[in-house]
Amino acid sequence: MTGDEENPTLMDEVARLAALHRYQILDTPQEEAFDRIPRIIKSALRAPMAAVAFIDDERRWFKAVAGGKRGELPRSISFCNHTIQRATPTIVVDTHLDQRFCANQLVVESPFIRSYLGVPLQTPDGYRIGSVCCVDKEPRDFTTEEIQLVKDLSAIVVDQLELRQLALFDPLTSVRSRRGFRGDAEMQLALSTRYGRNFSLLLLDIDHFKSINDTYGHNVGDEILSALGPRLSETLRDCDFVGRVGGEEFAVALPETDRFSALVCADRICGAVSAVPFETQAGPLSVSISLGAASYDGGDCGLDELFEAADKALYRAKADGRNCVRIGMRAAA
């Protein structure tokens, strides 16, 4: 796609937001991989400010900025909101002469934007989720070389998002990686602690998985792992999430869930896995899992304590014959 030619599908705002949220980048801390981008632009273009911005449903949020402060603004007044409306760069030589921006709050008040260059951040599937931008307080006709530099850096930001995504999700099972799961689980536990809410953690692994690999080969084992991730997710609510935290070990985070409800959920997962054989190149194979559960319901508790309590419960489930659920002691002070 070039110029202003548009695929109507790519202008679907719901799908665009889904593409943005898939990266789990909003409201994350500073990261050097992103911070260096506006620094390069600010230095190379000798401009007072440059930024990497993302456009949510109602706001523009800076992931990285040089010459300004990280933060957010209403989407309605954001220059970057105009940038994501087209595939080509948005170039404003003089905001005072541009009817789209001459009365904009960011022009008539601080930071008094006078010229702007924005290149959309376009995902591999075509959705524009934000921009890399450069602003000046003086009128400016950006050169071809300057525009190309910002375009190149925009592509680098998207590459970094993709690499970050790979680090957060397990490619075989399509669920969160250990790193991705722990990051999200720690955030949910912090929210539970702050607002006095329940939170539960499940640990599970496949019974006799080594025997499956030894008997049928690792390719069959991988087929089962690949199918298990989606099957686990299908049994959960939208707010719950799954991670692969070991070879055949998975974790499930259950926000707003007490001990009793966690046990009910674990029983449901256990039944869903064993009820339907997994289709593999060796034919249908029946698989069972063992689960350990631990719950936070008040007090001072870290994620490692929950993992330890759930791991001990998982060990008991295996000792009690496998294909069952055991719940750990209350993990709280």
Confirm if 254 and 262 have CB atoms less than 8 A apart.
yes
Report pLDDT for 175: 93
Q: Mean pLDDT over all residues of the chain? A: 92
Domains in the chain, ordered, with CATH? Answer: 8-167 (3.30.450.40), 178-327 (3.30.70.270)
**Would you give the end-to-end CA distance of the chain in angstroms?**
57
Report pLDDT for 331: 44
Query: Which tokens belong to 209?
Result: 């998985």
Report pLDDT for 165: 84
Report pLDDT for 195: 87
Q: CA-CA distances (angstroms) from residue 83 to 272, 284, 306?
A: 46, 51, 44
Report pLDDT for 229: 92
Residue (of 236, 204, 232, 207) closest to 221 by Cα position: 207
Report pLDDT for 205: 95
DSSP codes, 275-322: HSPBP-TT--B---EEEEEEEE-SSS--HHHHHHHHHHHHHHHHHTTS
The CA distance from 135 to 79, in Å, is 10
Report pLDDT for 2: 43
The CA distance from 222 to 36, in Å, is 39
Report pLDDT for 9: 61
Peptide bond into 230 cis (omega under 30): no
Instruction: Extract the residue ranges of the chain whose pLDDT is less than 70.
Output: 1-10, 329-333
DSSP symbol at 176: B
Confirm if 327 and 292 have CB atoms less than 8 A apart.
yes
Residue 230 phi/psi, 5° resolution? -65, -35
Residue (of 294, 303, 293, 295) closest to 190 by Cα position: 303
Report pLDDT for 332: 43
Residue (of 84, 131, 82) closest to 106 by Cα position: 82
**What percentage of the chain carries pLDDT values higher than 90?**
82
Report pLDDT for 6: 58
- Residues in Cβ contact with 216 at an 8 Å cutoff, skipping those fewer than 6 apart: 280, 282, 285
Question: Which residues are 74's β-sheet partners?
Answer: 59
pTM of the model: 0.69
Query: Which tokens belong to 159?
Result: 């590459």
Report pLDDT for 3: 43
326 three-class SS: strand
The CA distance from 258 to 298, in Å, is 11
Confirm if 270 and 205 have CB atoms less than 8 A apart.
no
Q: CA-CA distances (angstroms) from residue 59 to 71, 73, 134, 215?
A: 10, 6, 19, 54
Confirm if 175 and 232 have CB atoms less than 8 A apart.
yes
Confirm if 131 and 84 have CB atoms less than 8 A apart.
yes
